[in-house]
C-alpha cells in the first residue's frame, strides 16, 4: 500500500478537523459545560437553522465526536481527497467538499420538516465529516470507478471504487429507513447527491472560476455598450459640424484611409 501526497487543500482540511477534535476533547475535560453548550451551538439542528443559526450548515462538518470516526474519516479524506485534488485541482476539490457538506445540510434540514421516517427538526441533530466525504466518494465512484480500494483496512481484500461507494450508500439508506440516526443518514445521502450535482454541472475549473468569468464578461459587455453609445453620440455631433465619421459595431473608430482599401483587391501584387 502506497501513501498519496499529503498536501494542498487535503492537508488543510485534515489538520482543521484534527485541531477541532482535540480542542473539543481538551475542552470537555477542562470545561465540560462549556463544551456541551458549544456543541449545541455548532452541530446541525434544523430548527435552529430555521431560526437563524445558519453557520451550523458548515460548522457541523468539523465536529467529530468519536476517535474511530475521526481516524477513518481523515484517512478517507487523505486517500480519496488526494485523488480528486490531483485530478481536478485544489479549488475544484474545495468547492466539491463544501458544496457536499453545506448542500447536504440544507437538503436534509428541508426534508426533516416533512417529518417522514420519524424525523423531527427540533430533537434530531447531526454532525461529522461524512456528508462532505460522501460527495468526494461519489466523484471517485463516477470518475475513478476502476480504482481498487480496501473497504476494511489491514485485510487483503480489494473492491472497485464504484461498488464500494454503492455498498456504503445502500448501508446508509438502510439506516435511514430503519429510523435510527435518521437525520445523520439523510445528511450523508444528501451530501452524496450534492457531490453528484456538482460533478455534473460545475465547470472544469470550478464554480468560482465560472462565476468570475461571468462577472468579467458582464463588466466587459457594460463597457462595450458605453463605448457604442458614446460613438453614436459622437457621430451625431460630427454630423452637425458637417463632417462624417464612422464607427464599427464595437464602437471603434474606422479610419477613412483604411476604408478605401479593399483587402480583397490584389491588383497591386506582381
Q: What cell does 37 get?
A: 453548550
In this prediction, residue 26 has a pLDDT band, given cuts at 50, 70 and 90, of very high
Q: Do 210 and 202 meet the contact criterion of CB atoms below 8 Å apart?
A: yes
For position 192, what pLDDT does the model report?
Answer: 96
Per-residue pLDDT tens for 217-226?
A: 677 777 778 7
Q: What are phi and psi of 203, to 5 degrees?
A: -65, 160
Asked if 79 and 151 count as a contact pair (C-beta separation under 8 A), the reply is no
Specify which residues 223 forms β-bridges with. Answer: none
**Banded model confidence at residue 268, pLDDT cuts 50, 70, 90:** very low
- Tell me: pLDDT of 121 over 70: yes
pLDDT value of residue 206:
61
How far is 200 from 188, CA to CA, in rounded Å? 19
Residue 50 has pLDDT above 90, yes or no: yes
Report the percent of the chain where pLDDT is more than 70: 84
Contacting residues for 204 by C-beta, under 8 A, at least 6 apart = 88, 92
In angstroms, rounded to a whole number, what is the distance separating the alpha carbons of residues 202 and 239?
50
CA 89/CA 86 separation, integer angstroms: 6
pLDDT tens for each residue of 178-224: 877 889 999 999 999 999 999 998 876 666 655 565 666 677 777 77
Q: State the distance between the two ends of the chain, measured CA to CA, in whole angstroms.
A: 72
How does the average pLDDT of the chain come out, rounded?
85
Is it the case that residue 70 has pLDDT exceeding 70?
yes
Coil, strand or helix: which one is 55?
coil
Q: Where are the alpha helices (DSSP H) in the chain?
A: 8-30, 32-42, 46-50, 56-59, 67-88, 90-112, 130-143, 161-178, 182-201, 207-240, 256-260
H/E element, 148: strand 148-149
pLDDT in tens, 139-166: 999 999 888 887 666 567 788 889 999 9
Distance CA 54, CA 163 (A): 35
SS3 44: strand
Whether 266 has a pLDDT exceeding 60, the answer reads: no
Q: Of 231, 261, 262, nearest to 248 (Cα)?
A: 231
Cβ neighbours for 104, distance < 8 A, ≥ 6 positions apart: 131, 132, 134, 135, 187, 188, 189, 190, 191, 192, 193, 194
Amino acid at each position: 500500500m502506497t501513501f498519496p501526497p499529503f498536501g494542498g487543500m487535503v492537508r488543510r482540511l485534515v489538520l482543521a478537523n484534527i485541531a477541532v477534535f482535540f480542542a473539543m476533547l481538551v475542552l470537555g475535560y477542562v470545561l465540560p459545560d462549556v463544551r456541551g453548550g458549544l456543541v449545541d451551538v455548532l452541530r446541525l439542528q434544523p430548527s435552529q437553522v430555521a431560526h437563524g443559526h445558519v453557520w451550523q450548515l458548515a460548522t457541523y462538518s468539523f465536529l467529530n465526536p468519536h476517535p474511530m470516526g475521526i481516524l477513518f474519516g481523515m484517512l478517507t479524506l487523505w486517500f480519496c481527497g488526494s485523488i480528486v485534488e490531483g485530478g481536478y485541482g485544489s479549488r475544484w476539490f474545495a468547492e466539491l467538499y463544501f458544496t457536499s457538506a453545506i448542500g447536504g445540510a440544507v437538503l436534509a434540514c428541508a426534508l426533516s420538516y416533512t417529518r417522514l421516517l420519524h424525523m423531527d427538526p427540533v430533537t434530531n441533530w447531526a454532525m461529522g465529516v461524512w456528508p462532505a466525504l460522501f460527495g468526494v466518494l461519489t466523484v471517485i465512484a463516477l470518475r475513478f470507478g476502476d480504482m481498487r480500494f480496501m473497504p476494511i483496512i489491514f485485510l487483503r481484500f480489494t473492491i472497485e471504487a464504484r461498488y464500494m461507494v454503492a455498498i456504503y450508500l445502500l448501508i446508509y439508506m438502510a439506516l435511514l429507513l430503519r429510523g435510527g440516526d435518521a437525520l445523520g443518514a439523510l445528511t450523508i445521502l444528501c451530501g452524496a447527491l450534492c457531490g453528484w450535482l456538482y460533478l455534473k454541472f460545475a465547470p472544469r475549473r470550478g464554480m468560482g472560476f465560472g462565476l468570475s468569468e461571468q462577472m468579467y464578461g458582464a463588466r466587459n459587455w457594460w463597457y462595450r455598450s458605453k463605448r457604442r453609445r458614446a460613438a453614436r453620440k459622437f457621430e451625431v455631433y460630427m454630423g452637425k459640424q458637417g463632417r462624417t465619421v464612422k464607427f464599427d459595431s464595437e464602437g471603434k473608430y474606422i479610419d477613412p484611409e483604411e476604408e478605401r482599401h479593399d483587402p480583397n483587391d490584389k491588383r497591386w501584387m506582381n
